[in-house]
Structure 1
């Protein structure tokens, strides 16, 4: 599966287990932007786990409170930030304290995609164990 969206403030690339969001230069991301993220996730992932990859190619600002709301998206099981720039990695590290699920920072998209598979697999295994306990 592959889908592409131009949301004006960003470009979103949707794959089987994850989406990549590349936000445009100078944008300020606020909790209200979670609506667009939730819409894309609902449309393509319904009740299956998904990981959000932020490809930080451009400079933009994220209100850290956005992550508190993002944490509430039930099937969003992790966030990966991709940047090879130390200042953007430092900012992402600060932002990670506001997100209560797996959150990692990578130098390349390839590294982030490899991590996605691990996070989704752990989540699926965790859900299987929970279902077994409930049905016993």
Structure 2
């Protein structure tokens, strides 16, 4: 891990190729939170591709409109949801419709990290 950052809505762990975000319990993820992600992309991943992993250890809601804005971040090339308790497949499918970049659900954080690394590797070929 390169750095741990505290956000209004949770905590982010910055790695070489991605950020892992742990959202606070009970929040609603709103489109305006993309401002933070844009700042992170410019500070830690400037001029190179990166991935976003949300580790859903807490219960929270997501306004799917957030993904329309998230998809517009130029160097964001993959988005992963990790949930050990499992999400309803229908929830993931609805969220996926709003995302314009590769979007996957995983039950294991390490597998999600490897997936992000693999799409970055492919992107850089």
Q: Specify the TM-score bucket, using the shorter chain as the normaliser.
A: over 0.9
Give unpaired runs (5+ residues) of structure 1.
126-136
Deviation at 1:122, TM superposition (A): 1.5
What TM-score does the superposition give when structure 1 sets the normalisation length? 0.87
Deviation at 1:47, TM superposition (A): 0.8
What RMSD in Å do the two structures reach over aligned CA positions? Answer: 1.3
Deviation at 1:98, TM superposition (A): 0.4
Aligned length: 125
Q: Partner of 1:33 in structure 2?
A: 33
Check if 1:13 corresponds to 2:27: no
Deviation at 1:8, TM superposition (A): 3.0
Give unpaired runs (5+ residues) of structure 2.
none
Answer yes or no: is the 8 Å Cα contact 2:86–2:107 preserved in 1: no
Deviation at 1:92, TM superposition (A): 2.6
What TM-score does the superposition give when structure 2 sets the normalisation length? 0.94
Deviation at 1:75, TM superposition (A): 0.1
* Rg larger in structure: 1
